[in-house]
């Protein structure tokens, strides 16, 4: 979501910084060019491996079946796509759409090394303007990517357009802890441990400080639910995971 215009044009947030809308895409790109090679390792370290459980829960809620078409938006290194590919089988397809070519390159290499081939496609694409036909995919997922999009409403509308009637979209994203003590502990962890891990493991403290800040700027559970409804999704509901540190939103197109 963007802020009102100032004298220099519309602005938006990049972490806690206010930047011109036109600059955010490039700034986010720099972050993911920097972290691509160590992205999966850092996810394991930062979440103590719990991100795997969050993604497995999303897979279970997706209802993906053999032969279906699945779109993984901001799919990057292919972590979710590999799970979907096993479900759709050789008759189905999983398309990874990501704007960042460094993340796609890592994804191609890692999925090939793990023997995933034949039913996974890679497309460099902007989530706000997905280059696919309308009513095309059976399921769409975006996992830990929506908060990095400049115009989140446009991305949700684009996802709705390419989802077929009867299909479902899932948004797995960091959210707002539902218990105040948990929120305080999570803040302390985010702004001390995450930047330290970024500096020590990825040699990039700044990018991981941005990622921690971007979580705080992301809409809370009810706000994101409303945004999905405004994009056209129906029967939108969400599941709080790990006390609301992460939430899975699910909506349908009828």
Q: Which residues contact 92 (CB under 8 A, 6 or more apart)?
A: 66, 67, 68, 69, 70, 85, 119
Instruction: Compute the distance between CA of residue 9 and CA of residue 37 in angstroms, rounded to an integer.
Output: 35
Pick 190 or 62 by higher pLDDT: 62
Model confidence at 74, pLDDT cuts 50, 70, 90, reads very high
- Taking only the tens place, the pLDDT of each residue in 156-169 is 999 999 999 999 99
pLDDT of 124 above 90: yes
Pick 231 or 45 by higher pLDDT: 231
State the pLDDT at residue 129: 98
Q: Domain extents for the chain?
A: 27-177+211-252
Phi-psi region of 126 (alpha: psi -120 to 50; beta: other; left: phi over 0): beta
Model confidence at 2, pLDDT cuts 50, 70, 90, reads very low
Q: How far is CA 11 from CA 150, 210, 217, 220, in A?
A: 10, 17, 14, 21
- Taking only the tens place, the pLDDT of each residue in 36-52 is 888 888 888 889 899 99
Structure token pair of residue 143: 């996992």
- Taking only the tens place, the pLDDT of each residue in 171-204 is 999 999 999 999 999 999 989 988 898 888 888 8
pLDDT of 210 above 70: yes
Q: How far is CA 79 from CA 35, 217, 233, in A?
A: 15, 24, 25
State the pLDDT at residue 80: 96
State the pLDDT at residue 126: 96
CATH number of 27-177+211-252: 3.40.50.150
Q: What is the mean pLDDT of the chain?
A: 92
pTM summary value: 0.90
- Taking only the tens place, the pLDDT of each residue in 101-119 is 999 999 999 999 888 878 9
pLDDT of 222 above 50: yes
Q: Is 12 a known ligand-binding residue? A: no
State the pLDDT at residue 15: 87
- Taking only the tens place, the pLDDT of each residue in 133-144 is 999 999 999 999
pLDDT of 4 above 70: no
Q: Is 98 a known ligand-binding residue? A: yes
């Amino acid at each position: 979501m963007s802020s009102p215009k100032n004298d220099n044009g519309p602005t938006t947030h990049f972490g806690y910084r206010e930047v011109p809308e036109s600059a955010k895409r490039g700034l986010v790109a720099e972050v993911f060019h920097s972290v691509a090679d160590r992205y999966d390792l850092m996810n394991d370290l930062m979440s103590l491996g719990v991100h795997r459980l969050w993604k497995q829960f999303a897979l279970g809620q997706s209802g993906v079946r053999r032969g279906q078409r699945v779109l993984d938006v901001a799919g990057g290194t292919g972590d979710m796509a590999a799970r979907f590919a096993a479900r759709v089988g050789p008759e189905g397809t999983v398309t990874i759409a990501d704007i960042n070519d460094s993340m796609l390159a890592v994804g191609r290499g890692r999925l090939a090394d793990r023997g995933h081939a034949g039913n996974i496609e890679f497309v460099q694409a902007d989530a706000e303007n997905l280059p696919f036909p309308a009513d095309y995919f059976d399921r769409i997922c975006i996992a830990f990517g929506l908060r990095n999009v400049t115009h989140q409403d446009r991305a949700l509308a684009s996802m709705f357009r390419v989802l077929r009637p009867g299909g479902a979209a899932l948004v797995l994203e960091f959210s707002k802890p539902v218990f105040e003590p948990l929120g305080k502990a999570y803040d302390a962890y985010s702004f001390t441990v995450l930047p330290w891990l970024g500096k020590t493991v990825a040699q990039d403290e700044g990018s991981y400080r941005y990622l921690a800040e971007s979580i705080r700027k992301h809409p809370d559970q009810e706000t994101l639910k409303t945004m999905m409804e405004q994009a056209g999704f129906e029967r939108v509901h969400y599941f709080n995971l790990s006390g609301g540190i992460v939430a899975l939103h699910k909506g349908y197109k009828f």
